């Protein structure tokens, strides 16, 4: 059995203005927060104890997730007064876990359907210090890359480069041996990606790659967030209307759009490839395409919105 830490404390600057009042992991895809998709993924791998490592807008998580019993999990909260970076956050959150079990770390902004149980199994079979999920991308130039040797051991962490030596990239889900976490300094800003991992490899620690290229998406930008939601919705239909939403029969909802709970869509409105979160009001004959309408926002009658993020105070076009 393993336990988990979910990193959800970043500022999410690339998603402004959506992240002004909502932390990135609480933005919804296919009607529920990104974090909820990740809890389901962890649960499917047999994990029932999880610490949310929070910082920015930490107060938003507790009322929603509570003690986790609604999801059949035990959820605890570690709060950093100032963000400690990914490594510092892991060290701080691990204080709440009294365990000798493997600790799974999930980046709060990644949706992945890789086989986490198998990643944990391989980690334990190797008696590894850390095992990172690596995914293969067509063009690795925009990422740092992570080469492995013939035994699957990570040989280096390389920065972005014009001619990457491999198309394997860090996919943001790690299994740690708990004794390695205790070597990260307490109350100190540390990046696992830039400091801990390269240092472990340089010192000869057993850092393994678990390579699997299942569905994987970093939802750090508005376009990626929309893609994630559309991908999930389209697995079961052309659109998704959450319980409590009201849609006029003459409205057209299509392209994998999702209408959140307690939102209403007026007569003749057209919504295509978009996320409408909870409690929104979409006026008659409004047209919304490739856009994210955040909780509680209103789009007035006849307004046309394309490729934009809409909150209750602003509209910003998506680059
Ligand atoms: P951008 O500002 O748009 O880059 O987003 P971000 O702040 O979320 O940063 P990034 O995408 O690099 O973060 C990866 C994951 O780690 C996200 O799930 C963040 O919530 C989380 N994270 C980043 N920094 C911290 C931190 O200092 N503390 C905690 N608890 N989580 C963090």
User: What number does the ligand 1 atom closest to the CA of 83 have?
Assistant: 27
Distance 27 CA to ligand 1 centre (A): 14
- Whether a cis peptide bond, with omega within 30° of 0, leads into 17 is yes
Are the C-beta atoms of residues 225 and 275 closer than 8 Å to each other? yes
How many alpha carbons fall within 13 Å on the CB side of residue 217? 19
User: What number does the ligand 1 atom closest to the CA of 53 have?
Assistant: 30
Cα torsion angle, 42, 9, 140, 144, sign: negative
156: its two tokens: 């280096």
Backbone angles phi, psi at 251, to 5 degrees: -75, 155
User: What number does the ligand 1 atom closest to the CA of 84 have?
Assistant: 27
Distance 82 CA to ligand 1 centre (A): 12
Are the C-beta atoms of residues 208 and 225 closer than 8 Å to each other? no
Are the C-beta atoms of residues 168 and 145 closer than 8 Å to each other? yes
Distance 269 CA to ligand 1 centre (A): 36
State pLDDT tens for residues 243-287: 999 999 999 999 999 999 999 999 999 999 999 999 999 999 999
Q: What percent of the chain has pLDDT over 90?
A: 97
Distance 312 CA to ligand 1 centre (A): 25
* pTM of the predicted structure, to 2 decimals: 0.95
State pLDDT tens for residues 164-202: 999 999 999 999 999 999 999 999 999 999 999 999 999
Cα gap 209→126, rounded to integer Å: 11
Please give all residues whose beta carbon lies within 6 A of any atom in ligand 1, as ranges.
7-14, 24-25, 53-55, 80, 83-86, 89, 107-109, 220
Query: Which of 208, 121, 212, 130 minimizes the C-alpha distance to 171?
Result: 212
């Amino acid at each position: 059995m393993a336990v988990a830490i979910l990193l959800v404390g970043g500022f999410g600057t690339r998603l402004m203005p959506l992240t002004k009042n909502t932390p990135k992991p609480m933005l919804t895809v296919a009607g529920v927060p990104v974090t909820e998709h990740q809890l389901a993924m962890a649960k499917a791998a047999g994990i029932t104890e999880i610490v949310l490592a929070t910082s920015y807008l930490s107060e938003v998580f507790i009322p929603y997730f509570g003690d986790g019993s609604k999801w059949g999990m035990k959820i605890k909260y570690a709060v950093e007064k100032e963000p400690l970076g990914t490594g510092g956050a892991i060290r701080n959150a691990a204080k709440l876990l009294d365990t000798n079990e493997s600790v799974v770390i999930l980046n709060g902004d990644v949706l992945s359907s890789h086989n986490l149980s198998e990643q944990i199994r391989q980690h334990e079979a190797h008696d590894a210090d850390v095992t990172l999920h690596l995914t293969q991308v067509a063009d690795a130039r925009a990422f740092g890359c992570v080469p492995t040797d013939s035994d699957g051991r990570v040989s280096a962490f390389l920065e972005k480069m014009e001619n990457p030596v491999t198309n394997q990239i860090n996919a943001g889900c790690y299994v740690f041996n708990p004794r390695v976490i205790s070597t990260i300094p307490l109350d100190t800003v540390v990046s696992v990606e830039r400091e801990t991992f390269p240092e472990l490899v340089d010192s000869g620690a057993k850092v393994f790659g678990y390579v699997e290229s299942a569905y994987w998406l970093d939802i750090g930008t508005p376009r990626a967030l929309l893609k994630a939601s559309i991908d999930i919705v389209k697995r079961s239909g052309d659109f998704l209307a959450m319980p409590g939403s009201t849609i006029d029969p003459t409205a057209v909802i299509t392209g994998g759009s999702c209408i959140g709970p307690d939102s209403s869509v007026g007569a003749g409105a057209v919504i295509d490839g978009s996320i409408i979160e909870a409690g929104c009001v979409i006026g008659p004959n409004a047209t919304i395409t490739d856009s994210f309408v955040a909780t509680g926002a209103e789009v007035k009658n006849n307004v046309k919105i394309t490729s934009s993020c809409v909150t209750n105070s602003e509209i910003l076009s998506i680059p």
